[in-house]
Chain A
Amino acid sequence: MNLAELDALMVSPEMPVRAETLVQAWELTEVRRPNALPAGQVLALITMRAQAGMEARLASAARDFVEATSGLSGALGSTLHRSPTDPRTLYLIERFATAESFERHMGSDYFAKFQAAQAGLLAEPVTALFLERGNT
């Protein structure tokens, strides 16, 4: 084996990087802006809990909502997640380019349709956490 062959081989096996090296890199990382998101973006974490026996219907309505959201101009991402510890709990992570696009999302027909679909499905009110607010 020569060095060129070594370099070629090292492309493939994916050399493991030690945690201590990553911690050094973490500590050396320069943070140039105080927030994780560019100014104006909106990132929300929504929590919904279905009534017993209603989890499949809530999940189906939420999937339709995610699909509709992805078609909105300014929607950067909308993903649905289920809690592993409580299958009746669903989370939505939604991200918008601007506050304006988020407001259009809130005022859309598909949003109203999802709110109407939630009636009788939820065990408790929906909660929304806006992740960039109050960032230090």
Chain B
Amino acid sequence: MPDSDVELLHALARGEAQAVATLYQRHGARMVAFARRYVTDSVAAEDVVITLLGRWLERPPRVREVEKLSAFLATSVYHESIDWFRRERAQQGQPPRSRVNEVSAVVKTPVARESVGARLPDALARLSPDERLLLESHYMQALTTEECMELLGIGRAALHQRLHRARVRLMALLSEEEAQP
């Protein structure tokens, strides 16, 4: 089996079962720990990773030449975790997504969710990387509060201030785009 990560990714992209096994043996523990961030418990995290192995066997991933293994694994496990979360909610008869601020879902908003979804990428692109990081963590639990504090080198109070400002800025950008024809 390939020694280097790049060779391993290419073997995976060729659909080699041995590459799936090797990748799991080398990185499975971290994959499960990473999935655990986004699903309810460790049993679900194990299910997410094993489902991903089956997916790779049936549909080998396209791997870009320069892609790093950590980026490939992080994005793959994250998206599989989100899919798992959607399936769980569907099985419970709930809408596909509502992890944050369940109460706020009852707010009578005049803005159509679909149109916000379409305008969101442009609005996000106008935010700073730090603002994006805070919002990704607030709305999607990408990172914990403590991790954001560590990465940004700030305390809890400052983080809450900056998060609030980021939400206000995003709201303004979405409203501004909403006002445009």
Q: Using CB atoms and an 8 Å cutoff, list the residues of chain A in contact with chain B.
A: 1-19, 21-38, 43, 45, 47, 77, 79, 81-85, 91, 93, 95, 129, 131-132, 134-136
Contacts and interface: CB of A to CB of B under 8 A. Distances in A.
Nearest to B25: A135
Contact of B101 (A8, A30, A33): A8
A32 to B, nearest CB: 7
B73 A24 contact: no
A22 B141 CA distance: 10
The majority secondary structure among interface residues of chain B is: helix
Nearest to B36: A29
Contacts of B25: 131-132, 134-136
Interface in B81-112: 82, 97-101, 104-107, 109-111
A11 B105 contact: yes
Interface stretch (B2-10, B53-61, B153-161): B53-61
A23 B147 contact: no
Interface of B: 14-15, 17-18, 20-21, 24-26, 28-34, 37, 42, 46-47, 49-50, 53-54, 57-60, 68, 70-71, 73-75, 78, 82, 97-101, 104-107, 109-111, 113, 116-117, 120-121, 124, 132-133, 135-137, 139-140, 142-143, 147, 150-151, 167-168, 170-171, 174-175, 178
Nearest to B121: A16
Contacts of B58: 81-84
A135 B34 CA distance: 18
Nearest to A89: B17
Contacts of B32: 36-37
A26 B15 contact: no
A77 B50 contact: yes
Contact of A8 (B24, B54, B107, B117): B107
Contacts of A82: 58
Contact of A25 (B121, B132, B143): B143
Contacts of A21: 132-133, 136-137, 142-143
